[in-house]
Amino acid sequence: MPSYLLRVQLEDRPGRLGSLAVALGSVGADILSLDVVERSAGFAIDDLVVELPAGSMPDALITAAENLTGVYVDSIRPHTGLLEAHRELELIDHVAAATGRAARLQVLAEEAAPVLRVGWCTVLRATASGVERLAGSHGAPETHLPSAPWLPLQHAQTLNGTADWVPQLWRDMDTTLAAAPLGDHDTAVLLGRPGGPGFRPSEVARLGYLAGIVATILR
């Protein structure tokens, strides 16, 4: 059965999540996992991995959820089927176990993408002649970046996905971007999420936390 990652914003009050589960169940959806992405005053952002019966349309999930008062679907996209296969601590362990800097960077890029729930991850370094790609996850674009004016980078942050330095293909795919320094400020982890949604502050903080620990391992 196909599975989807559903990101919802809902009122943070007792019973709201249960009502959502019932609503999704009414269209045949089976909730496989739930992660709280962010909590703020009065609302929560949750990621739900759900399965639908074969032949069902994912639009049914949106309709069922948004029929509830106080529920808004931020995004829905196909899920890889990797149910929390690599959490932060496992990623850090795998990076530490790899031999050599290049291998460690490749492990970081490959495993950060599913952990942080993005389309792709690359590790870049600014040089005197341009931007060097040090590692990339499966599906990461091979597009050469002639420049990365956001480097050097002082802290984890979102990037403007419509800026002049962003390749046209990324812009055409409405790719949201976030990056964090990896040790020295000229090297960074870059995350891309084609089609969105935008990165929440908690996700950017999580990226910065991971990058900081990996930078310590690399040293």
Number of folded domains that form the chain: 2
CB 180 within 8 A of CB 211: yes
What is the maximum span of the chain, computed from C-alpha positions, in angstroms? Answer: 58
Residue 83: inside a domain: no
CB-based burial, 184-201: b 16+ in 10 Å, e otherwise: eebbbbbbbbbeebebbe
Alpha-carbon distances of 212 from 151, 183, 184, rounded to whole Å: 16, 7, 10
Choose the final residue of a domain: 78, 102, 125.
78
What is the rounded radius of gyration, in angstroms, for the C-alpha atoms of the chain?
Answer: 18
- Please tell me which residue, 211 or 84, carries the higher pLDDT value: 211
3-state secondary structure of 59: helix
Q: What is the pLDDT of residues 32-50, one digit of tens each?
A: 888 888 888 888 898 888 9
CB atoms within 10 A of CB 6: 25
**pTM of this structure:** 0.76
% of the chain surpassing 70 pLDDT: 97
Domain range enclosing 21: 3-78
What is the mean pLDDT of the segment spanning 38-66? Answer: 89
Statement to judge: residues 11 and 94 lie in one domain: no
Statement to judge: residues 49 and 96 lie in one domain: no
